[in-house]
């Protein structure tokens, strides 16, 4: 067994190695499913919201780390990654000092120390990762809006992904496919969302006047 393998399987870092493996697996599955127009983020919960009337310590912690501003799956992946890095770093420093921290204590310290890091990292990611849905915007509000194909082309097969801005200026990425009468819509094309079924939005090529209105709105 290689030296790297010995380190990753050592008992004092095993929880952090497991967390890293789960993070890589979830990230890989999410990337692959997004490329074919699906997303496991949508299956496990697009956004996590803490009820406004809940005032217990756990809900306060979730609010503090910006839960609800990121898809739940992304928050889980971020949590696993920071916990794993923190644990490896902690045990690495201990080994450099010629000692080792009991794995249970190291796990608690890494978990607690990662919370403020998650808060800052999630705040930064929330600015660049579009959410599929907003609690202030309903899916039906997107019908009649112009969007841009981000994963495609859109045809009558598997749904692709389109990106659009809501009335509050927030960006969203949703599943869509071309209408039965429409030709394939390539990546980068401006499309009009004309309907929605149980699986995705239905899109057609956007008329030129609507494209001009969208460009003016984006510039504003």
> What structural domains and CATH numbers belong to the chain?
3-128 (no CATH), 139-219 (2.40.50.140)
More confident residue, 168 or 104: 104
pLDDT tens digit string along 16-60? 889 888 888 888 887 776 665 555 555 554 444 444 344 444 444
pLDDT tens digit string along 99-138? 878 888 888 888 888 877 877 777 777 666 655 444 455 6
pLDDT of residue 55: 44
More confident residue, 165 or 148: 148
pLDDT of residue 40: 57
pLDDT tier for residue 219 given thresholds of 50, 70 and 90: low
Q: Is the pLDDT of residue 210 over 80?
A: no
DSSP string, the chain: --HHHHHHT-GGGHHHHHHHHHHHHHHHHHHHHHHTT--HHHHH-S-----TT--SHHHHHHHHTTTTSS-HHHHHHHHHHHHHHHHHHHHHHHHHTT----HHHHHHHHHHHHHHHHHHHHHHHHHHSPPS-BTTB-GGGGTT-EEEEEE--B-SSS-EEEEEE-TTS-EEEEEEEE-TTSPPB-TT-EEEEEEE-SS-EEEEEPPHHHHHHHHHHHH-
């Amino acid at each position: 067994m290689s030296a790297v393998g010995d380190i990753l399987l050592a008992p004092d870092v095993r929880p952090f190695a497991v967390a890293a493996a789960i993070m890589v697996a979830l990230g890989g599955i999410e990337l692959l499913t997004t490329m074919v127009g699906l997303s496991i983020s949508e299956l496990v919960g697009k956004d996590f919201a803490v009820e406004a009337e809940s005032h217990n310590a756990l809900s306060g912690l979730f609010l503090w780390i910006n839960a609800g501003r990121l898809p739940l799956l992304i928050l889980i992946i971020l949590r696993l990654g920071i916990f794993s890095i923190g644990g490896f770093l902690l045990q690495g420093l201990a080994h450099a000092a010629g000692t080792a921290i009991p794995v249970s204590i190291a796990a608690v310290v890494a978990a607690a120390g990662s919370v403020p890091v998650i808060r800052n990292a999630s705040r930064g990611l929330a600015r660049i990762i579009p959410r599929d849905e907003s609690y202030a915007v309903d899916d039906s509000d997107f019908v009649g809006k112009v969007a841009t194909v981000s994963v495609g082309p859109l045809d009558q097969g598997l749904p692709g992904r389109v990106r659009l801005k809501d009335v509050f200026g927030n960006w969203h990425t949703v599943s869509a496919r071309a209408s039965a009468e429409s030709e394939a819509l390539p990546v980068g094309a401006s499309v009009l969302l004309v309907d929605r079924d149980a699986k995705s939005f239905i899109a057609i090529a956007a008329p030129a006047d609507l494209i001009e209105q969208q460009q003016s709105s984006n510039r504003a």
